[in-house]
Chains A and B, each alone.
Chain A
Amino acid sequence: MSNKVQSFPDNQASVGAILSRFVAQNSTLLVVVLMLVAFGLSSDKFLLPNNIFNIFRQMSVVAVLALGMTLVILIGGIDLSVGSVLFLAAGITSVLLRDGTPVAIAILVGLSSATVAGLMNGLLVEVAGISPVIATLGTLIGVRGLTLVLMNNAQIRVTDPFFEWVAITRTPGIAELDVPGIPLTVIIVLIIYLIMAVVLRQTLFGRFIYAIGGNQVTAHLSGLPVLPIKLLAYTLCGLMAGIGGMLMAAATGVISPGLGAGSEFYTIAAVVLGGTRLSGGIGRVEKTLLGAFILYMVLNFMTLRRIPAEWQQTATGLLVLTAIVLDRLAQRRRG
Chain B
Amino acid sequence: MIQPNKEAPILEMRGITKRFPGMIALNGVDFSARRGEIHALIGQNGAGKSTLMKILAGVYPLEEGELRIQGESMRFSHPRDALRIGIGTVYQDLSLVPQLSVAHNIFLGREAGNGIFINQKADRERSAQILTQLGIQSIDVDALVSDLPLAQQQLVEIAKVISHQPKILVLDEPTAALADEESTLLFKMLEGLKAQQIAIIFISHRFKEILKYCDHATVLRNGQLVKTFAMQGVSEDELVEMTIGERKETFFQQREQNATSEEIVLEVENLSVGRSVKKVSFSLKRGEIVGITGLLGAGQNELVRALFGTELEVSGLIRRKGKAVFIGSPKQAIALGIGLLTEHRKAEGLIVDMSVKENITLPSLALLFRQALLFIRNRSETQAANDSIRDLQIKVGSAHAAVGTLSGGNQQKVILAKWLMRDLDILMFIAPTQGIDVGAKAEIYRQLHVLAEAGKSIMVVSEDLIEILGISDRIFIMYDGQLSQTIDRAEASEEGLLSATQGYAHVE
Contacts and interface: CB of A to CB of B under 8 A. Distances in A.
Given A8-B21, A214-B353, A223-B330, A203 B375 contact: yes
A215 B334 CA distance: 19
Interface string B325-345: 000011101110000101000
B116 interface: no
A222 B330 contact: yes
B374 A205 contact: yes
B146 interface: no
B19 A10 contact: yes
Give the bracket for the number of chain A residues in contact with chain B: 20 to 34
A282 B19 CA distance: 28
B19 A223 contact: no
B14 interface: no
A211 B302 CA distance: 25
Contacts of A281: 351, 353
Given A211-B362, A223-B334, A203 B373 contact: yes
B350 A211 contact: no
Give the bracket for the number of chain B residues in contact with chain A: 20 to 34
A210 B354 contact: yes
Given A205-B374, A215-B351, A221 B310 contact: yes
Contact of A214 (B22, B335, B352, B375): B352
A7 interface: yes
Nearest to A224: B362
Interface in A197-225: 202-205, 207-208, 210-211, 214-215, 217-225
B77 interface: no
A8 B20 CA distance: 9
B418 interface: yes
Interface string A178-212: 00000000000000000000000011110110110
A11 interface: yes
B365 to A, nearest CB: 6
A221 B350 CA distance: 10
B21 A218 contact: no
A308 interface: no
A202 B354 contact: no
B362 A222 contact: yes
A202 B350 contact: no
Contacts of B358: 207, 210-211
Interface in B1-59: 19-22
Interface string B355-373: 0001000110110001001
B348 A202 contact: no
A10 B21 contact: yes
- From B19, B330, B334, B340, residue with most partner A Cβ within 10 Å: B330
B349 interface: yes
B218 to A, nearest CB: 27
Contact of B348 (A7, A17, A218, A223): A218
Contact of A202 (B22, B329, B351, B376): B376
Nearest to B358: A207
B306 to A, nearest CB: 14
Contact of A204 (B20, B335, B352, B366): B366
Interface string B475-495: 000000000000000000000
B370 A221 contact: no
17 contacts: A7-B21, A9-B21, A10-B19, A202-B376, A204-B370, A205-B374, A211-B362, A214-B354, A215-B352, A217-B347, A218-B349, A222-B362, A223-B330, A223-B363, A224-B362, A224-B363, A225-B331
